[in-house]
């Protein structure tokens, strides 16, 4: 059976909640995997070797424990998945700076994908339960076609904030005003004005969802096939 | 089929059948653009429990469309008619579920909006517990759209009509038509409207909303009728029921020059023209939607 470890770094547990919010599908998933490590759900103290290691949360560069875990998950996981905005691209931890430090010396947070090489990075704050299930199933089935946007995301140097819509879509004369960025935003930071997204920098948490969802940045092959239902 | 490359000479994408149809409800026909298919399908869905909310382009002030979640037939009729400008319907996908509490949503959109919806369904990163609630997608034929100010320029400057006086806008017979509440009709050659198009539309090669359950538009059918592609089982079922129950009258599509012929010609024109634009942008080193 495929072994899976779920590791938490500087995150809020929201991605794990999203994973368990899949109800009956979670049971299907748990039946098809062996969850070998997940501190919130299971009693295992050491991260074992695993086929898939999913990591939630950013890496605190000022915390040697976090740095060691980052190294450890890369060594122990065959497939390393940066799950959720903090781990994939930094997310809300991008805003950590002076005066917001959980300990006097901890102020620098980076995405896991910046610290070690990740195989897949999944944006979203949190990624929806359905998407997490899709990703897990695709990993189990080796469906690289479905996973290719996440593989690419793991290597991307995108800033992954609402500004991406401006620089990569509007400024490139690609925005046709569908509004999917607006409806996908978890903080309602995007308003459609004159058929174009207006992003509030006060509300944007740099979760990467809006630009990931934009079909004018990327249109994965599977999307262009009509479902035979 | 692949939307932006490969077998692009296939003009319409996959479909099971294509017919000419129009609504039988006079209230719809009075307000609809052509055969009133979108309104009729949504009203049928709402009245028969297949849908409990539909995302439509409602009319705002000065012919400015506003996306709206309609939950009653009256609201659907109120929003009937094509708006030749951008209306971000997909921006309401989440509100339809969270604020209106709908769990069987109908979505109408241009081909690009249907593509966005399909991407959201396939990759629902930011759409928790939502994608299973999209019950039906209805696509409308689209060659290109106008930004609001582009449409405004065409109507006010080229046709000489104030937007507040407009009751209907239409494209047909090579012209852009404007109808006023005073009963006046003005038109301008489509060629003259090209400078005011939304340039982002020029990287799209989908004319007939190839990923929708049902796609419809005026091209290929006589005045007052619409051509309708039934693409999925879901789409086919609802149209068949509507025909059986008298909500729609249908006739076979004209397979000649003024029927399927013109539809095919326009679909291929869009594909050829915009594939060239995509190649041109690539040559310049500009990004185009990446299709892997």
CATH of the domain at A55: 3.40.50.700
Same domain (yes/no): A98, A203: no
Mean pLDDT for the stretch of residues B250-262: 94
The answer to whether residue A229 sits within a structural domain is: no
Chain B residues with beta carbon closer than 8 angstroms to that of A87: none
How many contacts does A have with B, using Cβ atoms within 8 A?
188
Three-state DSSP at B120 gives helix
Pairwise CA distance, residues B154 & B119, whole Å: 33
Average model confidence (pLDDT) across chain A? 91
Binding-face residues of B in 93-112 toward A, CB within 8 A: 93-95, 109-110, 112
Q: Touching check for B118 and chain A: CB below 8 Å?
A: yes
The answer to whether residue A13 sits within a structural domain is: yes
The answer to whether residue A215 sits within a structural domain is: yes
Pick the residue from chain B with its C-alpha nearest to A226. Answer: B211
Same domain (yes/no): A182, A135: no
- Give the tens place of pLDDT for each residue, A173-192: 999 999 999 999 999 999 99
User: Residues near A107 by Cβ (< 8 Å), separated by ≥ 6?
Assistant: A62, A96, A97, A98, A100, A101
Do B123 and A168 count as a contact with CB atoms less than 8 A apart? Answer: no
Pairwise CA distance, residues B194 & B199, whole Å: 10
Same domain (yes/no): A67, A179: no
Do B91 and A179 count as a contact with CB atoms less than 8 A apart? Answer: yes
Q: Touching check for B219 and chain A: CB below 8 Å?
A: no
- The enclosing domain of B154 has a CATH number of 3.10.450.750
Same domain (yes/no): A109, A45: yes
DSSP string, B33-51: SSS-HHHHHHHHHHHTTS-
- Into how many domains does chain A fold? 2
**Kind and range of the H or E run holding B262:** helix B262-284
Q: Touching check for B136 and chain A: CB below 8 Å?
A: no
The answer to whether residue B123 sits within a structural domain is: yes
Nearest-5° angle of CA B190, CA B196, CA B202? Answer: 90
Same domain (yes/no): B55, B188: no
Chain B nearest CA to A110, separation (Å): 21
Q: Touching check for A213 and chain B: CB below 8 Å?
A: yes
Binding-face residues of B in 227-266 toward A, CB within 8 A: 231-234
Q: In Å, what is the CA distance from A192 to each residue of A177, B38, B151?
A: 8, 24, 18
Three-state DSSP at A34 gives strand
Residue A99 confidence (pLDDT): 58
Same domain (yes/no): B121, B254: yes
Q: Touching check for A198 and chain B: CB below 8 Å?
A: no
Do B128 and A21 count as a contact with CB atoms less than 8 A apart? Answer: yes
- The enclosing domain of A207 has a CATH number of 3.30.70.20
Chain B residues with beta carbon closer than 8 angstroms to that of A127: 125
The conformation of residue B135, written as its DSSP 8-state character, comes to: E
Structure tokens at A29: 């998933």
Percent of chain B clearing pLDDT 90 (strictly above): 92
Helical axes B37-47 vs B233-244, angle rounded to 10°:
80
Same domain (yes/no): A79, A174: no
Q: Which ipTM did the prediction report?
A: 0.94
Exposed (0-12), middle (13-18) or buried (19+): which is B277, by Cβ within 10 Å?
middle
Do B109 and A122 count as a contact with CB atoms less than 8 A apart? Answer: no
Same domain (yes/no): A142, A186: no
The answer to whether residue A106 sits within a structural domain is: yes
- Listed residues A155, A184, A199: the one ending a domain: A155
Same domain (yes/no): B150, B139: no
- Listed residues A155, A183, A212: the one ending a domain: A155
Q: Are A87 and A111 a contacting pair, CB within 8 Å?
A: yes
> Dihedral angle at the C-alpha atoms of B236, B242, B243, B246, nearest 10 degrees?
180
Same domain (yes/no): A38, A137: yes
Chain B nearest CA to A5, separation (Å): 22
- Listed residues A98, A127, A155: the one ending a domain: A155
Q: Touching check for A156 and chain B: CB below 8 Å?
A: no
Please give the residue range of the domain that contains residue B279.
Answer: 17-143+202-284
Q: Of A195, A212, A227, which has the smallest distance from its Cβ to B86's Cβ?
A: A195
Q: Of B90, B125, B149, which has the smallest distance from its Cβ to A179's Cβ?
A: B90
Residue A228 confidence (pLDDT): 61
Please give the residue range of the domain that contains residue A113.
Answer: 2-155
The answer to whether residue A143 sits within a structural domain is: yes
Same domain (yes/no): A31, A110: yes
Same domain (yes/no): A182, A93: no
Same domain (yes/no): B135, B73: yes
Pick the residue from chain A with its C-alpha nearest to B213. Answer: A226
User: Residues near A130 by Cβ (< 8 Å), separated by ≥ 6?
Assistant: A22, B124, B127, B128, B129, B131, B132
Residue A23 confidence (pLDDT): 76
Give the pLDDT of chain A (229 residues) as one tens digit per residue: 899 999 999 999 999 999 988 878 888 888 889 999 999 888 889 999 999 999 999 999 989 999 999 999 999 999 999 999 999 998 888 887 655 666 777 788 899 999 999 999 999 999 999 999 999 999 999 999 999 999 999 987 667 788 899 999 999 999 999 999 999 999 999 999 999 999 999 999 999 999 999 999 999 988 988 876 5
Same domain (yes/no): A107, A183: no
How many other CB atoms are there within 10 angstroms of residue B187's CB atom?
Answer: 17
- Into how many domains does chain B fold? 2
């Amino acid at each position: 059976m495929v072994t899976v470890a779920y590791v938490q770094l500087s995150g809020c547990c929201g991605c794990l909640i999203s994973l368990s919010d899949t109800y009956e599908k979670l049971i299907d998933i748990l039946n098809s995997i062996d969850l070998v490590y997940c501190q919130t759900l299971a009693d295992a103290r050491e991260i074992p070797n695993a086929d898939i290691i999913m990591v939630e949360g950013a890496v605190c560069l000022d915390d040697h424990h976090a740095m060691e875990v980052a190294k450890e998950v890369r060594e122990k996981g065959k497939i390393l998945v940066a799950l959720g905005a903090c781990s994939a691209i930094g997310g809300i931890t991008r805003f950590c700076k002076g005066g917001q430090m959980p300990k006097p010396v901890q102020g620098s947070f980076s995405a896991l994908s910046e610290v070690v090489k990740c195989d897949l990075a999944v944006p979203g704050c949190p990624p929806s339960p359905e998407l997490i299930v899709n990703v897990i199933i695709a990993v189990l089935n080796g469906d690289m076609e479905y996973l290719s946007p996440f593989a690419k995301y793991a290597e991307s140097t995108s800033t992954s904030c609402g500004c991406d819509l401006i620089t990569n879509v509007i400024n490139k004369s690609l925005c046709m005003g569908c509004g999917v960025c607006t409806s996908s935003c978890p903080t309602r930071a995007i308003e459609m004005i004159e058929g174009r997204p207006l992003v509030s920098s006060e509300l944007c948490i740099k979760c990467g969802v809006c630009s990931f969802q934009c079909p004018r940045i990327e249109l994965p092959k599977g999307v262009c096939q009509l479902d035979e239902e | 089929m692949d939307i932006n490359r490969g077998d692009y000479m296939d003009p319409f994408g996959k479909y099971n059948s294509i017919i000419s149809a129009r609504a039988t409800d006079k209230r719809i026909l009075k307000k609809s653009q052509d055969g009133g298919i979108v309104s009729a399908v949504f009203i049928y869905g709402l009245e028969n429990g297949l849908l409990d909310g539909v995302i439509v382009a409602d009319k705002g002030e000065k012919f400015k469309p506003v996306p709206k979640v309609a939950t009653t037939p009256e609201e659907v009729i109120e929003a009937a008619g094509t708006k030749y400008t951008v209306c971000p319907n997909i921006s309401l996908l989440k509100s339809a579920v969270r604020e209106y509490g709908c769990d069987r949503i109908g979505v109408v959109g241009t081909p690009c909006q249907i593509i966005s919806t399909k991407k959201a369904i396939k990759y629902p990163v930011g759409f928790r517990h939502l994608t299973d609630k999209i019950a039906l997608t209805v696509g409308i034929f689209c060659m290109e759209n106008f930004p609001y100010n582009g449409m405004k320029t065409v109507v006010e400057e080229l046709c000489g009509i104030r937007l507040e006086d407009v009751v209907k806008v239409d494209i047909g017979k090579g012209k852009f038509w404007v109808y006023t509440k005073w009963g006046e009709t003005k038109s301008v050659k489509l060629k003259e409207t090209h400078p005011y198009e939304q340039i982002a539309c020029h990287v799209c090669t989908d004319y007939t909303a190839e990923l929708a359950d049902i796609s419809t538009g005026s091209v290929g059918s006589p005045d007052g009728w619409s051509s309708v592609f039934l693409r999925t089982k879901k789409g086919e079922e609802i149209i068949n029921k509507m025909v059986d129950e008298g909500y729609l009258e249908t006739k076979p599509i004209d397979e000649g020059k003024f029927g399927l012929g013109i539809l095919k010609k326009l679909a291929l024109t869009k594909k050829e023209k915009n594939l060239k634009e995509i190649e041109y942008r690539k040559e310049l080193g500009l990004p185009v939607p990446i299709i892997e």
